[in-house]
Amino acid sequence: MFEVSIQLTDSLKIINCIFYSLEVPINATVEKFGGLDILVTNAGGPPADTFDDIDLATWETSIDLTLLSAVRLVKYALSHLRQSTAPAILTITSTSTKQPVQNLVLSNSIRLAVIGLTKTLSQELVAIKFASTVFYQAGHIQKG
């Protein structure tokens, strides 16, 4: 289950929805706008804690949230992106991909897997432009 906010109207109205599959917002976007040119992947951060204090269930939930949500989005969007004349995928991550952050073992570990996925896909899917952006602080963005 995924709770997201999306804008599918011309008026700036925000539609709040709970999706049980990420295919729903992708298909709704394609239907509304006639295609898909860009996909942005981003996920909220997993819980903060030390390795000793995190159980395996939390690891699995965090991998599902942070890594597998990006995998699912790309899987569901790929056929639509391949039909675009200017397809692109933007992956948004955190500073923990550049330097580990104390008490963020889940984020430090799993977000690197998201970067690895993005870099691998950029080699496999050469017709699609890829970028990853790391947010350090409010107002400071580094493109990678």
Identify the pLDDT of residue 127: 80
Residue 20 CA to residue 24 CA, distance in Å, equals 8
Cross-strand partners of 92: 133
Spell out, as residue ranges, where the chain has pLDDT lower than 70. Answer: 1-20, 132-144
Strand 140-143 to 129-137 pairing? antiparallel
Residue 119's closest CA among 132, 108, 106? 132
**What average pLDDT does the chain have?**
80
Identify the pLDDT of residue 134: 58
90 token code pair: 């933007």
Residue 77 CA to residue 1 CA, distance in Å, equals 18
Identify the pLDDT of residue 24: 83
